[in-house]
Amino acid sequence: MTHILPSGGGKALINVDDTALLLLDHQAGLLQTVKDITVAELRANVIALARIATLLKIPVITTASVPEGPNGPLMPEIAEHAPHAVYVPRHGQVNAWDNEAYVEAVRATGKKTLIMAGVWTSVCVMFPALDAKAAGFNVYAVMDASGDPTEFVSRTTLARFIQGGIVPTSTNATISSCTARGRGRKRRRSPTSTPWPPRTTGQSWRATTTQSASVRRRSRRPDAAAAHRRCRRRTEPPAATQKVRKAS
């Protein structure tokens, strides 16, 4: 697995090459019922997920339940920031996993890790998350890109996720985990570049640091002397004034 480093780092993190992002029912009407997080923060987190998915070329699947009804249309920002997203409409199914077209779209990605977020967390995310887990997928639930009507509902949902083997996470942790696979890569250096300060074989870093510090001190001395001379010129009276003082 290419996302795992020789040290073993990354093994427990998200492998973006095997991940799909599922955004469920972020609809205008449902967003107005969210009380466990501010709607502005929730929308910002959804946008962040859409943008990172586009940047990392992660498949995105969106869905909405009866968007022409009171639930309202999906957030337009999702399509704006993830133009490659695939939209699967639902006609009355509360659980997106009950919709055959939706499940087929998820399986068509070929990914086994699913990052889910939606409104409500306790229904629109939990139901398909549990079914996807039972179907053999690894499932992450992004809690702050989802929302519930009350704090109590959110807490019970979190407990149910943990009980069912769903990994609860945050937007920041998700983005960090997805982008962390690049850590540990050595920065490419120009063939003509040399490290500074240069070191000879067997020379310690402390020795070269001390040496470079002494070089810097010596290089500052001429500048300091010049500054001192300029200061004297500004403070000393003109030569004509000095002659008058001597004559008096």
Which amino acids are annotated catalytic?
Answer: 124
Closest CA to 179 of 57, 77, 71: 57
Cα end-to-end distance, the chain, whole Å: 93
Using the Cα atoms of residue 121, residue 104, residue 19 and residue 62 in order, give the sign of their dihedral: negative
Distances, alpha carbon 225 to alpha carbons 145, 213, 228, 243, in Å = 62, 19, 5, 27
Q: Is the dihedral of CA 134, 121, 170, 104 positive or negative?
A: positive
Contact by Cβ (8 Å): 147, 120: yes
Q: Torsion angle, CA of 106/110/113/118, rounded to 10 degrees? A: -20
DSSP-derived letter for residue 119 is B
Say if residues 66 and 91 touch (Cβ distance below 8 Å): yes
